[in-house]
Amino acid sequence: MQKNIIPVLKVLKKRWPNPGAMEIGNPYQNLVGVLLSARTRDEQVLKLMPGFFRAFPTPEKLAKASVKQIESKINTIGMFRQKAKNLKLMAMRVVEMFDGRVPSTMDELVSLAGVGRKTASVVLVASFNTPAIAVDTHVHRVTNRLGWVKTKTPEKTEVALLKIIPDKNKKSVNHVFVKHGRYLCISKPRCWACPVADMCAFKDKNLVPPKDAAAILEDIKRREEELETLRDKAV
């Protein structure tokens, strides 16, 4: 099924044309957004961002803030105490080691507090136009169902995908598959609404639309519109 990589990505880019929810602003704003979004709904993060960036518009301001001050701006999301600690440590290192500029390589990014390969990959793609693939549970699930990889963990999926996807196409993978996995290729997949079902290796396709199919699709459209509205106001 690997021969379908380019056609599938082309179709899904048309189906999911909007940027990723945290593809916002400058590298600092982008990195903060991705750090805050861990195990948290994008909508929740986007809603707090205007207030956060008014308080901490630069890494320097964030580095000087107390953890309690940072907590007060993000306490509407999960794990806010740990995220506040990581944000302060991240900002301090950016200021001390990188002259206040978010670094632009994988090795440098993962040296920051709270930043793993997935977060770093999102920032590399969104802020530095660098080929990378951020693999979360959605990307892992969808690419395995498509038959592109046969892997047990997101980490192994990243390694496998980096080998088979051309550099010029790597930047699209997380963008389209996160949305596809969130809305259509869910645990019980909505293959009846999938534009690449005929190019998918998944055997147990769910091709019969439910009675509320129209309502499901309308809700997906509404959620995407809400995300775009919030994203536009985030920074």
How far is residue 33's CA from residue 21's CA, in Å, rounded to a whole number? Answer: 9
Question: Cβ-count burial of 228 within 10 angstroms (0-12 exposed, 13-18 middle, 19+ buried)?
Answer: middle
What amino acid is encoded at 44 in this protein?
A: Q
Segment holding 95, helix H or strand E: helix 80-98
DSSP, res 185: S
- Say if residues 59 and 100 touch (Cβ distance below 8 Å): yes
Strands (E), 32-181: none
- Say if residues 235 and 49 touch (Cβ distance below 8 Å): yes
Instruction: Please report, for residues 22, 47, 116, the alpha-carbon distance to residue 40 in angstroms, rounded to integers and kept in the order given.
Output: 12, 12, 16
Could you say which of 42, 73, 136, 170 is catalytic? 136
Segment holding 6, helix H or strand E: helix 5-15
* Helix intervals (H) in the chain: 5-15, 27-36, 42-55, 59-64, 67-74, 80-98, 106-109, 117-128, 137-146, 154-164, 167-183, 213-233
118 catalytic? Reply is yes
Could you say which of 73, 118, 171, 179 is catalytic? 118
Rounded to 5°, angle at Cα 205 from 203 and 211: 165
136 catalytic? Reply is yes
- Say if residues 6 and 149 touch (Cβ distance below 8 Å): no
Q: Which residues are catalytic?
A: 118, 136
